[in-house]
Each structure stands twice: as C-alpha cells, then as structure tokens.
Chains A and B, each alone.
Chain A
Amino acid sequence: MSNIVGYACIVIGLVFDIFGCIGLIRLPDVYNRLQATTKCVTLGTCSILIGTLCIKGFTGAGTKAFLCSIFLILTAPVAAHALARGAHISGVKLWGSSVCDKYHQDKEHKQK
C-alpha cells in the first residue's frame, strides 16, 4: 500500500518537474522563468522525496529524505529571491509587454 502511495507521489513529482522545465523554455524573461522553476521544480522534487519516504518507511533513509524536503522548501525561495534581486541589479529588463516596474521607479527616485 505505502509503495503504491510512494510511486504515485513520485509520478506527480515528475510531472511537475517536467512542467517546470517546459516553463523554463517557454516563458519570455528571467523573472517569469524563475517563477515557474521555483514553484514547480521545488514542489516536484519535494514530492519525489516524500515518495521516497513512503517507500522506505520511517528508517534512516526515510528521515533523511524528509529532512531534505524541508530543507528544500526553506531554501529554494531564498535562492530564487537572491537570483531575482541579482538579475534586477545587473540590469536585466522585464519582458517588453510587462505592466509596471515599481522597483525600477523607486530605485531611480532614490538616486535623484
């Protein structure tokens, strides 16, 4: 039973991983790509790790998988935030038909 649940989790995780990678290819600029990969790939990988926990049971390997998934959930958004900030500071423009860029406006305002 727990094997079946674990395999189901792994399949869901793989599907979300693939969606995230398609997003990485299809979306137009860095920030949108970052959105797709942070959400889909993080949750997909966490789902794979939870599947591993279900299959292995509460043994040494299972607890390690659980810790690893918690660690990923905590750190992946921080890495994404740092990358987005770095990209914006290094001067990557938003996609052409974006609506607004308050961050850019405020930075210019501060420099004046």
Chain B
Amino acid sequence: MNRKKTNYVSWFLGAALLCGVLWVVTRYSLPSLLEWQSPFLSRCFFVLMVCFGLCLIRLLRGPTPADRAVAVDTLGILIVGFCAILSIPTGRDWYLDIAIAWALQSFIGALALAKYLEGRGFDE
C-alpha cells in the first residue's frame, strides 16, 4: 500500500514536470536561430527537443551498455523526424536527403552496436 502511494506521488511529480516543460515550450515561441515564418513548426521543433532531452537522460543514466545502445538508436530515429520538420519552413529540400542518409547510418550503427554487445558476452 505504501509503495503504491509513493508510486502515485512520483508519477504525479513526473507528469507535472513534463507538462510544465511542454507548457513553457509551447506557450512562448522561443527565439530561434532561423528566423522562421511559422510559429507552429518552431514549437514542434522545441517539442522534439524535449524528446531528445528524455533520450539523453536515459543515455546518461542507463545502467547497462544495452540501455545506452537503445537510447542511441532512438535518437537516430528522432533525428530523421527532426530533419523532416526542418525541411518544411526553410523550404530546403535537401534536409530530406539528410534524413534518408541518417536513417541508413543509424540502422547500420544500431547493427554495429548489437554486434559489439554480442561480442561482450563471449567470455568462456
């Protein structure tokens, strides 16, 4: 019973923190380096930044190497979406070329990380 209570409290704190961050990010369109015409997309951009932050927390805290590998893989997929969002307001289509190349390299990187993880276990 006690455990459940603390569970609720931490859940509530986490949800409040995340909602607060998202509110700040979406309430004020923060000044950005690119002078964008579209405030909506600049907010999308900062929401993706929050996702990156969550991935980085896992990357720093992850107890095992496998956790870090998963976080890196997730970051790779997120960056593809990031490039796609960047390509809309700036009107530069080559961001999508970067997205395709990044998807390829993140896939190959994930496979290489998996191979590395497999190699660690052979200790007989």
Interface residues of A (CB under 8 A from B): 7, 10-11, 13-14, 17-18, 20-22, 24-26, 30, 33-34, 37, 41-42, 44-45, 48-49, 51-52, 55-56, 59-61, 64-65, 67-68, 71-72, 75-76, 78-80, 82-83, 85-87, 89-92
What are some 5 contacts across the A-B interface (CB < 8 A)? A37-B77, A41-B74, A64-B97, A68-B84, A71-B104
- Is B121 an interface residue, CB under 8 A from the partner? yes
Query: In the complex, how many residues of chain B place their beta carbon closer than 8 angstroms to a beta carbon of chain A?
Result: 49
Closest to B124 in A: A111
Q: Which residues of B contact A72 (CB under 8 A)?
A: 77, 80, 103
Q: Which residues of B contact A78 (CB under 8 A)?
A: 107, 111
Beta-carbon contacts under 8 Å, B85-124 to A: 85, 87-88, 93, 96-97, 99-100, 103-104, 106-107, 110-111, 113-118, 120-121
**Cβ of A52 and Cβ of B96 under 8 Å apart?**
yes
| Number of A-B residue pairs having CB atoms within 8 Å of each other in the complex | 155
**Cβ of A37 and Cβ of B74 under 8 Å apart?**
yes
From A17, A64, A80, A82, give the contact of B81 (CB < 8 A).
Answer: A17
**Cβ of B96 and Cβ of A86 under 8 Å apart?**
no
Closest to B45 in A: A14
**Cβ of A24 and Cβ of B111 under 8 Å apart?**
no
**Cβ of A25 and Cβ of B58 under 8 Å apart?**
yes
**Cβ of B87 and Cβ of A86 under 8 Å apart?**
no
**Cβ of B70 and Cβ of A34 under 8 Å apart?**
yes
A21-B50, A87-B64 known, 5 other contacts, Cβ within 8 Å: A21-B74, A30-B67, A45-B81, A64-B97, A68-B103
**Cβ of B118 and Cβ of A85 under 8 Å apart?**
yes
Q: Which residues of A contact B13 (CB under 8 A)?
A: none
Q: Which residues of A contact B47 (CB under 8 A)?
A: 14, 18
Most buried by A among B18, B58, B80: B80
Q: Which residues of B contact A87 (CB under 8 A)?
A: 64, 66, 69, 117
